[in-house]
């Protein structure tokens, strides 16, 4: 059971780089896809834990723009897993008040998967208990490049005055334009890098790099990280008054 966290001091938006599925499987003498399936089951538990922890928004890094470099077998297996997850979890997500959004460039994805993603977004559009965002074929630099292109098109069309562009303008063109910036970014598996994830949005996020592999990232571990966040001093570049 997770521990209730004071919503006023805990993170409203948590983003997670779910790393370590492959190593978790290989340490058990199993193929990497076995780890990905275990990781998918863990996602459901973490989503269910969010309300008790005061987390309204959860964003997970499911497949990056760089992950296409993996073997054809692993990529095909991951795409199949995404389809299976959407099919098996759609009704539960709807019934449990979870709103699902997908971010990333959908151009390289198969039409059948895109339709499933669109359908799930529509099915859960009225839910507000937890906002789950899934990043598929997502890369932070790619997102900024695509956003900049759309911004430039609006300037060329006369819809946007270039003299009025400031740091509040670009976020309106990002995939995450309807989401608050993450308060806390967690990376599992002991790696201490952000791997091109939410580069713009995480400018003032707190980071937590933990040794736990993603399939072992239980709701109890999640609760511990969220509780630890509450004790951090977030000054956003300012100085706390004495």
> Active-site positions?
19, 67
Residue 236 burial (C-beta neighbours within 10 Å; 0-12, 13-18, 19+): exposed
Is the Cα torsion angle 213, 195, 88, 122 positive or negative in sign? positive
């Amino acid at each position: 059971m997770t521990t209730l966290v004071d919503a006023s001091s805990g993170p409203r938006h948590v983003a997670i780089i779910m790393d370590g599925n492959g190593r978790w499987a290989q340490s058990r003498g199993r193929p990497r896809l076995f780890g990905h399936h275990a990781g998918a089951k863990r996602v459901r538990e973490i989503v269910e834990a969010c309300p008790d922890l005061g987390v309204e928004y959860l964003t997970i890094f499911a497949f990056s723009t760089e992950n296409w470099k993996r073997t054809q077998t692993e990529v095909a297996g991951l795409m199949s897993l995404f389809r299976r997850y959407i099919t098996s979890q759609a009704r539960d997500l709807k019934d449990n008040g979870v709103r699902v959004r997908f971010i990333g460039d959908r151009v390289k994805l198969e039409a059948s998967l895109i339709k499933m993603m669109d359908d799930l977004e529509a099915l859960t559009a009225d839910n507000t208990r937890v906002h789950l965002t899934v990043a598929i074929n997502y890369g932070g630099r790619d997102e900024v490049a695509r956003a900049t292109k759309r911004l430039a098109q609006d300037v060329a069309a006369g819809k946007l005055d270039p003299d009025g562009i400031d740091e509040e303008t670009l976020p309106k063109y990002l995939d995450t334009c309807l989401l608050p910036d993450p308060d806390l970014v967690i990376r599992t598996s002991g790696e201490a890098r952000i791997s091109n994830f939410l580069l713009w949005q995480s400018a003032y996020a707190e980071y937590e790099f933990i040794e736990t592999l993603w399939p072992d990232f239980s709701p109890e571990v999640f609760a511990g990280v969220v509780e630890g966040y509450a004790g951090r001093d977030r000054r956003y570049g300012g100085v706390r008054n004495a």
